[in-house]
Structure 1
Amino acid sequence: MALRLRPPRLGRTPNWEIRGTHRGIAVERSAGSPDRRIAERRLREVEREIEAGEWSTPPAPRHEPTFADAVEGYVRAGRRRKYLLKLLDRFGDTPLSGITQAEIDRAAVELYPAVQPQTRNTCFYTPLSAVLRHAGVDRPIRRPKGAKGRVVTRFLTQPDAFAIIREADQIDARLGLLLRLLLYTGMRINEALRLRWEDIDLAGGTAYVGLTKTGEARTAKLRADLVAQLRAIRPETGAGRVFQFAYGGRLKDQFLRAKLAVCDVPMPPRGKKGQRRPRLDYRLAWVNFHTFRHTWATWMRMYGGADVQGLVATGNWSDPRSAARYAHVVPRDEWCRVDDLPGEPEG
C-alpha cells in the first residue's frame, strides 16, 4: 500500500498524517502541519528517505497527553464543542505541560485580536480552562482584565414579570410555563430547555439539573403551583423533553412578542431571509431570558430572606463572589439605626 495522507481529526490532531507502506517499510507519523501542501511535501521527503536508505523508524516516545487528547476526552464526555476548533488549531499537538500562562495570553490575542476582554474570555479562556480542568490539569488560569465585562443585575418588578408571563400564556402556554420555571428556579435558559421528564420528581417537587455551566449537578425545588402546571402536561410515558422549543428564532420571536404586548407596541414584520429585525426602542427592550434568573436571585433576597451564602447553597452559583452581586438589593440591618439619628428641630 502506497503512502497516503490522512486528514486532520477533530479531537485528536489538527495536522495531516502520513500512513501506509513504501518499499516494504510501514510508516505512520504526523506530517507536522495542518496545511495539505506542506504535508504532501513531507510525504515525498519520507519516500525519498526510504529509497535512499536513510529512513529509520523513530523509537516510540513515552506519550505525554496533548491538548488534542484533552479535547477528545472533553467532547466524549458530552461537553460543549463551541469555540474548540480554533483552540485545536492552536494547541492541538502541544503537551498539556507546555501550555503556560504566557503561551495562553499570547494565543488569546492572536486568535481574537480585535475584541473586548469579555468576548476573549468567553471564546478563548473559558473553553480552554474547561478542557484543561476536565483533563485533570489543576492549574489556575488568569483571565484578562475586564473579563467579566459589565456586571448586570437588573431585575423585573412583580407587575412587569407577571405581565410578560400572562402575555406569553396567550401566545403559547408552554412559553408561559417556561418563563415561570426560570422565574421560580433561577435556571439558565439552556438548562430549562434540556430538562427531561425523567429529571422531574412531581411527588417530591424537585427538578434535577445535570448539565450546568459550572459542571456541577444540582436539584431545584419546585413550587406547588409549578408542580401542578407540570403535572397537567406530563405525558403518560413520563419521558422525553419537557419543552420542545429550540433556542432559536421562533422562541425568541415569541418572547419578543410577549414583551411588546406588555408595552402596547406592535410586532414588526419579519424581514427577508437572513435579515434581522430592526432594533426596537421600548420599555422592556433590556429584558432577556437571563433577566428571569437575576429576578429569581433578587426576589430570593428581597422576599425569601436568603443571604449570599443561601444563594450559593441553592447550587445556582459555585462562587460566593457571583452571588454577592445581589447583596445590595436588601438594606443591611445596620440601616435600621438611621431612625436613631437626631432629627431636624421643629420650628
Structure 2
Amino acid sequence: MVALKLIRRKDSPNWWLRGSIRGISVYESTGIADRETAEIILTIRSKEVLDESIFGRKVNATFDQAAESYLQGGGSPRFLPALRKHFGTKPLRKLRQNDLDAAALKLFPNASPETRNRQCYTPFIAVWNHAVRNDWADVRQWSRPRRPKGTTRHRRETRSGTRPVPYDRAARFVAAMSPAPAMVMTALFYTGMRPIELFTLEMKDIDVVGRWIIVRNSKVGEPRGVPMHEFLVPLLEALLARKDRIQKVFRTFRGKPYTISPEGGGQLSNGILGARKRLAKKGVDLTDVSPYTGRHSCSTELVVAGVHPHIKDQILGHAADDMSRHYTSVPQAPLIEAINRLPVPDMWCALPWWDDPLSHSRQHVKWGRSK
C-alpha cells in the first residue's frame, strides 16, 4: 500500500485509517463515524505521515504523545494531567520558553516560584528530555523560575520535610511507626531516594550482592544507580524473599503496592500522621519529620562525613552527565563506601521488626494505640 484509506471495522462505529506512506504504516481510528469528517482527518493525517517520512518524527510529535510515551516508560505521573490538558496536541517543535512560562502562570497563578518549578517546569522538562532521547525533539536548555530579588526568604513557615534532622531524632520517629511505613522511612534515610522513586522499585532493581539499586525512571526522567547501605541489606533480603507475583519491593501492611497519585507520593500519610499522634501523647513533637526529610538528611550527613560533593550528587541523582547514565547498573565502589558513612543510631538497630521484616511488615498499629 502506498497511501492511507478509510476502512470500516465490524467492532467499531467509527472510520479507521489504514495504509502506509514511504514505509510508515498506519492503522488507527479516526474517532469519527461521519464519513465527510473522516475524509478531512484522512487528508490531514496523510500529510502528517508524509512530513514525518521526509523530515523525521520531530516534525509532528506532540506534547501529549511525548507525555504518554514517558508514562509508558515508567515516568512519574505526578503533575502531568494538568500539563497534558494545557499543551494537548501542540507539536513539540513549536513549544518555546514563553509557552512554558505562560503555562506555569496560568496553571498556578498564585503559587510561589518553588511551587511552579516543582509542579510545572520539572515534569515538563522530564517529558521533554524523554522526547529528546526518542529523537522527537531537540536538546534545549529550559529556564526555571527564580525568586524576585529583594524578597524575604522567610515569608511563611517552612513545611515539614524541607530541612534535615539528626538521625537519632529520625530513629525516634520511625520507632513510633507501624513496621511497613517504618521500613519505607528507613530506606529513604539510608538511600536519599525520593519517595516516588522508592515506591516504584521492583525486585529486578535490587542487587543485594553488589550493594546496588537501580532507579529506572527518576524525577528528571534519567535512570541512575543508588548505592546500598549495609544497614539496609537484611531488610531488602527479607523483602526480596517474597514468593508472590507482585514485583514492587515496598508495600503497605496489607501487602499491596503503594499507590502513586498525581497529588502525592503514595499512601504513607496515614503512617506519618499516626506516628505524630502517638508521639504527641507522650509530649514529643516530631512534626519536622516526613518522607522527604530522609533525602535532605542524607544529603546533609554525607557533607558532614566529608563526602566529596560530586559523589554526594551522584548518590542523590543530581548529576546527569553521560558517564553517570552509562554506569547506571554498574555498582560503583566510591558511592557504596560513601553511603556507609551515614550514622546508624542504636535505637534504629533495636527496632523489633529487624529480626523478621517480612512477617512484621503485615502488622499495623492503629492511631489510637501506643508503641
TM-score band, normalised by shorter chain? 0.5 to 0.7
8 A Cα contact 1:208 1:217, kept in partner: yes
Asked whether 1:242 is paired with 2:229, we answer no
2:173–2:275: 8 Å Cα contact kept in structure 1?
Answer: yes
Q: Which residue of structure 1 lines up, in the alignment, with residue 106 of structure 2? A: 110
Say if 1:108 and 1:314 are closer, same or farther in 2 by CA, change over 3 A. closer
Matching residue of 1:60: 47
In the TM superposition, 1:1-347 aligns within 5 A as: 20-22=34-36, 27-29=39-41, 60=47, 62-63=51-52, 64-65=59-60, 66-136=62-132, 137-146=138-147, 154-168=163-177, 171-172=178-179, 174-235=180-241, 237=243, 240-245=247-252, 246=258, 251-265=268-282, 283-302=285-304, 304-318=305-319
Q: TM-score when scaled to structure 1?
A: 0.63
Amino acid in structure 1 at the alignment position of 2:302: M
Per-residue CA deviation, residues 295-346 of structure 1 (Å, 9 max, x unaligned), is 11111222x32132220132532279xxxxxxxxxxxxxxxxxxxxxxxxxx
Contact 2:190 2:298 in 1 (8 A): yes
What SS class does the counterpart of residue 289 from structure 1 fall into? coil
Q: What SS is found at the alignment partner of 1:220?
A: strand
The CA deviation at 1:288 is: 0.9
* 1:187 CA drift (Å): 1.5
Name the CA shift for 1:97/1:197 in 2 (closer, same or farther; >3 Å): closer
Q: Distance in 1 between matches of 2:184 and 2:208?
A: 16
Q: Look at both structures and tell me which one has the larger radius of gyration over its CA atoms.
A: 1
1:222 shift after superposition? 2.4
CA offsets 1:175-233 (integer angstroms, 9 cap, x no match):
33222211111111122222223322222333222221132323333233321233344
**Distance in 2 between the 1:69 and 1:98 partners?**
14
Q: Conserved in 2, the CA contact under 8 Å of 1:312 and 1:319?
A: no
* Superposition CA RMSD, Å: 3.7
Alpha carbons 2:32, 2:38 under 8 Å: kept: no
In structure 1, how many angstroms separate the alpha carbons of the residues matched to 2:169 and 2:78? 34
Partners of 2:128 and 2:198 in 1: CA distance: 27
- Classify 1:85/1:190 alpha carbon distance in 2 versus 1 (closer, same or farther; 3 Å): closer
Distance 1:287 1:208, change over 3 A: same
Which SS does the other structure have where 1:207 is aligned? Answer: strand
With CA pairs under 8 Å and 6+ residues apart, which has the higher RCO, 1 or 2? Answer: 2
TM-score using structure 2 length: 0.59
Report the secondary structure of 2:39's partner residue.
strand
Extract unaligned runs of 5+ from structure 2.
1-6, 16-29, 53-58, 133-137, 253-257, 260-264, 322-371
- CA drift of 1:255 comes to 2.3
Q: Tell me, what secondary structure is at the counterpart of 2:75?
A: coil
Q: CA deviation at 1:89?
A: 3.7
- SS of aligned partner of 1:186: coil
The answer to whether the 8 Å contact 1:179/1:292 transfers is yes
Distance (Å, rounded) in 2 between the aligned partners of 1:236 and 1:287: 30
Do the aligned residues in 1 keep the contact of 2:14 with 2:33 (CA within 8 Å)? yes
Q: Which amino acid aligns with 1:202?
A: V
CA–CA distance in structure 1, aligned partners of residues 65 and 207 of structure 2 = 38
Deviation of 1:291 after TM superposition, in Å, equals 0.5
Task: Give secondary structure in 2 for the equivalent of 1:135.
Answer: helix
Q: Structure 1 counterpart of 2:293, which letter?
A: T
Q: Which moved more, 1:218-227 or 1:183-192?
A: 218-227
Change (3 A) 1:130 1:234: closer
